[in-house]
């Protein structure tokens, strides 16, 4: 169970970033899982995926074991109703919730009966992407990333800079083709991936 929790949490953060902020290359996605390994071990997730391929193998292994539960819909309803965002921003809470549901693999959404009601409208997708892009550029002095930069004598925004992918990863050998095959098998059109 700990391996599944670690895998799905990592997938959620990585996929949200990939879809709504900046497309990640294959080597970046694999690096995320590999770099999470020490923390996973500390939490007891000794067999958590260490690569994208291992993640999809785990998804395939769990496919027959996952079942729909009314608790999922109850949780989503609570998240729709509870005011997480302040005041006038509360109506914007729903697009963020829909964005979280939308990154789930198609077969998971189908099994949990998360239909079109949980699909972003074009204006909502644009709003989520714009908000995510703005948030990614905010350098918080108290964040672990900034504190790490300070300890190493680097500029505070060093880790916020986009780095160009190695040449062999830029052309044809990135993760988009693999994503497209996965998403296509789940019923999505390839042209949607990457967004």
130-167 residue pLDDT tens:
999 988 888 899 998 899 999 999 999 888 876 665 55
Summary mean pLDDT of the chain? 83
Q: What is the pLDDT of residues 54-100, one digit of tens each?
A: 999 999 999 889 888 999 999 999 999 898 888 888 888 999 999 99
Given this model, what pLDDT does residue 13 score? Answer: 94
Given this model, what pLDDT does residue 66 score? Answer: 87
Q: What is the pTM of this model?
A: 0.76
Phi, psi of 155 (to 5 degrees): -60, 145
Supply the Cα-derived Rg of the chain in whole angstroms.
Answer: 18
Given this model, what pLDDT does residue 169 score? Answer: 47
* b/e 65-81 (16+ beta carbons within 10 angstroms → b): eeeeeeeeeeebeeeee
Q: What is the pLDDT of residues 170-191, one digit of tens each?
A: 433 333 334 433 444 444 333 3
Q: Residue 114: pLDDT above 50? A: yes
Given this model, what pLDDT does residue 8 score? Answer: 93
**C-alpha to C-alpha distance for 2 and 140, rounded to whole angstroms:** 31
Given this model, what pLDDT does residue 91 score? Answer: 84
Residue-range domain boundaries for the chain: 69-137
pLDDT band at residue 7 using 50, 70 and 90 as cut-offs: very high
**C-alpha to C-alpha distance for 38 and 68, rounded to whole angstroms:** 32
């Amino acid at each position: 169970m700990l391996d599944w929790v670690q895998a799905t949490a990592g997938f959620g953060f990585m996929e949200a970033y990939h879809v709504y902020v900046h497309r990640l290359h294959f080597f970046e996605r694999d690096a995320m899982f590999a770099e999470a390994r020490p923390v996973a071990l500390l939490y007891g997730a000794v067999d958590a995926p260490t690569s994208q391929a291992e993640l999809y193998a785990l998804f395939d292994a769990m496919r027959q074991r996952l079942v729909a539960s009314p608790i999922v819909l109850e949780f989503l309803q609570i998240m729709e109703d509870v005011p997480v965002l302040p005041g006038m921003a509360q109506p914007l809470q729903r697009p963020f919730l829909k964005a979280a549901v939308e990154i789930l693999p198609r077969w998971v959404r189908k099994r949990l009966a998360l239909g079109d009601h949980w699909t972003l409208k074009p204006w909502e997708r644009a709003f989520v992407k714009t908000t995510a892009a703005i948030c990614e550029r905010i350098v918080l002095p108290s964040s672990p990333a900034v504190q790490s930069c300070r300890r190493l004598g680097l500029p505070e925004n060093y880790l916020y800079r986009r780095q160009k992918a190695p040449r062999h990863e830029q052309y044809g050998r990135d993760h988009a083709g693999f994503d497209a095959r996965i998403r296509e098998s789940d019923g999505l059109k390839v042209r949607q991936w990457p967004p």
